[in-house]
Amino acid sequence: MTTSEVGLGLRRIDNGTESIASMKNLGILLSGRGSNFVAIADSIVANKISDARIAVVISNRADAPGLEIARQRGLSALCIPSKGKAREEHDRAVVSALFENKVDLICLAGYMRLLSPWFVQQFPQKILNIHPSLLPAFPGLEAQQQAFAFGVKVTGCTVHFVDEELDHGAIIVQNTVPVLDSDDERALAARILEQEHVAYTEAIKIVLKGNFEIVGRRMVEL
């Protein structure tokens, strides 16, 4: 497998490298370091996620470390600045780039922007987000701090579909993390992040397989 093939996240099969045309295209949106993006990319290369490639990585911040990581891996990496733009104006530029790259599934990986209802409507049940709590508990910012301050004994992470409301869409995967008496916020956040990397890979596999339906607020695997 060549360096460029590794960057694209192609998987090897018995008679060579699988054709890009047969794969689903993932679009990654991030605003910072993109550790979940790296975990997804590594899972593709390791064939933990099959039949998928990362088509484009997009950030609203030019200084996002995740963009440089994407470029080092040979991936298409775009900055579409959000500063000074109305939310929907920025979203339309991002959606245009996603369409240009023929993205089938969007993965938010630390993307610190609320998507407009218009954006969500362009990709129904095709946008995933990961949140560092067991939703519906502790939505929004600083979820780990909320869990620690509230004194819960168990927390974790949630991968869910994105809808028009914050941290609200149907839940795909949840992984639990015990809160230890010896924990501080930093230690707890680090252990949650480890489970995020596992949960995101599992959720992408479930969604790409497509054997599910949404019943009310529940995702039911068929």
Residue 160 is among the residues annotated as catalytic for this protein: no
- Residue 5: phi, psi to the nearest 5? -70, -40
Mean pLDDT over residues 151-159, rounded? 96
pLDDT of residue 165: 87
211, burial (CB in 10 Å: exposed 0-12, middle 13-18, buried 19+)? exposed
Which of 131, 160, 168, 197 is labelled catalytic? 131
For residue 65, what are the CA distances in angstroms to 62, 177, 209?
Answer: 9, 27, 31
Could you read off the pLDDT of 52-111 as tens digits, one per residue? 999 999 999 999 999 999 999 999 999 999 998 999 999 999 999 999 999 999 999 999
Could you read off the pLDDT of 104-141 as tens digits, one per residue? 999 999 999 999 999 999 999 999 999 999 999 999 88
Strands (E), 149-201: 154-161, 171-178
Task: Return the SS3 of 105.
Answer: strand
Beta bridge partners of residue 25, listed in sequence order: 53
Token reading at 17: 């490298």
pLDDT of residue 107: 98
Q: What percent of the chain has pLDDT over 70?
A: 91
Could you read off the pLDDT of 162-201 as tens digits, one per residue? 998 888 899 999 999 999 999 988 999 999 999 999 999 9
- Three-class SS string for 49-94? CCCEEEEEEEECCCCCHHHHHHHHCCCCEEECCCCCCCHHHHHHHH
CB distance 77 to 64 below 8 Å? no
pLDDT of residue 185: 87
| Distance (Å, whole) CA 122 – CA 139 | 24
pLDDT of residue 21: 58
pLDDT of residue 9: 44
pLDDT of residue 120: 95
- Residue 170: phi, psi to the nearest 5? -55, 135
| Distance (Å, whole) CA 49 – CA 42 | 9
Domains of the chain (ranges, CATH numbers): 1-123 (3.40.50.170), 130-222 (3.40.50.170)
H-only helix segments in 77-184: 87-100, 117-122, 143-150
For the cut 60, the answer to whether the pLDDT of residue 2 exceeds it is no
For the cut 60, the answer to whether the pLDDT of residue 10 exceeds it is no
Q: Of how many residues is the chain composed? A: 222
| Distance (Å, whole) CA 20 – CA 13 | 13
What pTM value is reported for the model?
0.88
Mean pLDDT over residues 192-216, rounded? 94
For the cut 70, the answer to whether the pLDDT of residue 17 exceeds it is no
